[in-house]
Structure 1
């Protein structure tokens, strides 16, 4: 039993590669810190702003892809903390809340929900 657990752990460690991800995270953090230093030291001009934006986009290009379900869950948490009504929360299923860190799925249902809300808001504003 212990051998199976160790083997499973080794496989997960090989597939997920947390050490490489942590190293990449540190590298990106250093690049953003260097950019913050450059921003503090730069002159205030349109050309400097363009150069700094280009550097920022170059760093963002190296970032791993965004986990959309994690972003939506964070949005819901912030809305709850700010006292928004429950109907403003994105209706994530329990599976999306728990497995969204690993895989993204069910976005079509959320897009339909968003379209319905926009349609309702448009109808309400046209009535007013």
Structure 2
């Protein structure tokens, strides 16, 4: 077994254990909400975007999803944050508004993108609440 196979085996075991633990906690009522998986997956995909080749299917999916927010006045927050790796503080200076406003706008836009990129996950998250 090589290092990559071992890493994959460990990752799969860790993911299975974490999923099982979260399910038990949810079933027992100890937690009622887990941070949106679709949100995190969308952020991860957005961070990858600049390094994806033009013909990559994931990049094309992101381009298509971005059309959904093209009329939003704050659409450039997504490119600044995820493609250019700017901080929320830096972006808020550009827009000349409060950090919290940019953070809320970013969250709203990521959720819109998540609904385009991972619609099944978003639906499942809504049903689990």
Same fold, TM-score > 0.5, yes or no = no
> TM-score of the superposition, structure 2-length normalised?
0.35
> TM-score of the superposition, structure 1-length normalised?
0.36
- Higher RCO (C-alpha under 8 Å, 6+ residues apart): 2
